[in-house]
Amino acid sequence: MAHSENKEYSFLAASSSGIAAGLRVKLDGDLKLVPAGVTDIEIGVTSSGVSNGTDPVRVLLANAPGTVEVTAAGAFAKGASLQRCADGKVDDTGAGSVYGIAMAASTAAGDIVEVLPGNAGIAAALTTLTDRVTALEV
């Protein structure tokens, strides 16, 4: 098996029509990328997109530090606790498990937003911190 210490890794898309940037993704049975669903735990987020299944897709791996840019499933505020949604997206409503905290607002579905991935505890702590910073800015 290949070893990588990089934050990004390249994979092929399972679909011949490719895959977009900014999606939470998982690997299918052929080790090709597909969008992660509501109940899926992603391997990472696509940092590049392709329009075919033959060019490599760059994925920022889930164990990489820092923030990622993810596609929103709807509108939400900066500081919102985000859940995993269908088609590799995130939103502040839904049945998926907590994905992270919105570092920027989304005005509509399809927006690419900066997100700090983390568990429910991190999301709750960051929401409290965001509320306090917002109060200080007023």
Together in a domain, 22 and 77: no
Cβ contacts of residue 110 below 8 Å, gap of 6+? 71, 72
The answer to whether 114 touches 104, Cβ cutoff 8 Å, is yes
88 and 73 fall within a common domain: yes
C-alpha span between 110 and 106 (Å, rounded): 9
pTM: 0.83
For residue 3, being part of any structural domain is answered with: no
> Does 34 lie in the same domain as 55?
yes
d(CA 44, CA 67): 11
Range of the domain at 122: 68-137
Residues 53, 92, single domain; the answer is no
Total number of domains constituting the chain: 2
Please indicate, yes or no, whether residues 84 and 49 belong to a single structural domain of this protein. Answer: no
pLDDT in tens for each of the 138 residues of the chain?
A: 344 556 889 999 999 999 999 999 999 999 999 999 999 999 999 999 999 989 999 999 998 888 999 999 999 999 999 999 999 999 999 889 999 999 999 999 999 999 999 865 555 555 566 666 666 655
